[in-house]
Each structure stands twice: as structure tokens, then as C-alpha cells.
Amino acid sequence: MQGILVHGSNHFIVNGPRPGIDTACALIRRWEFPRIGFQPPAEDPLSTWAICTKAFRENLQWAVVLRSPDTKPTPAVTGLLGELQVRGVTIVESSGPLSYKYRK
């Protein structure tokens, strides 16, 4: 299953089931702000999802949009979200901005 995870002007095409808002925030933290030398635990709960480098828009089955206080999605991503909505794909949006703090 593939979907799109949007945060501000950045987005990721993702392999995996649609994550909840908290999981989507954790994925954004991991992928936008990688920590050098960080090794995920052996049983990493985020290993269910992976960034996809090649996908067809027709295969996207979910969308999660996390609001950013500083930036908005690009026009291309906004257009893609509109196409998904017309196709009947539910777009889940966060109710507030993502916290950039790492959780230990």
C-alpha cells in the first residue's frame, strides 16, 4: 500500500499502511531530521513504513497532511491531494503544527 505524507512544503511517498497522526509525526521527525549515528531498536515500530522512490499517483491509497507553521504544501502537492480527494481517498490532516522535539 502506498500513500503520501505531507509536512509543510516537503512530502514523502511512503510504502505502508496509513499511519495515525502520532506515527506520522514520528516518521517526519525521523526522515526530515535524521540523527547521525542513530540506530533504531531491533523491533522498531516505524519499520512498517519506508520511503518509496518510484510510484504512480494512481497507486496512492492514503494521504496524511501535517500542518507546518511556516510553510504550505507546494502547488504540485496541493494538486495531487485534490486528485486524490476526487478519487475518494480520505485525506487526514493534523489539527496543529508538528512539534520538532525528539522524544526519548
What does the pLDDT read at residue 103? 33
Residues 6+ apart with CB under 8 A from 64: 3, 4, 5, 6, 18, 19, 21, 24, 91, 92, 93, 94
The per-residue pLDDT of the chain, averaged, comes to 86
C-alpha cell at 71: 510553510
Average pLDDT of the segment spanning 13-35: 90
Give pLDDT, residue 39. Answer: 74
Q: Which residues contact residue 20 at a Cβ distance below 8 angstroms, ignoring those fewer than 6 apart?
A: none
pLDDT digits (tens, 9 = 90+) for 38-48: 777 778 889 89
Q: What is the band of 81 on the pLDDT scale with cuts at 50, 70, 90?
A: very high
Mean pLDDT of 18-41: 85
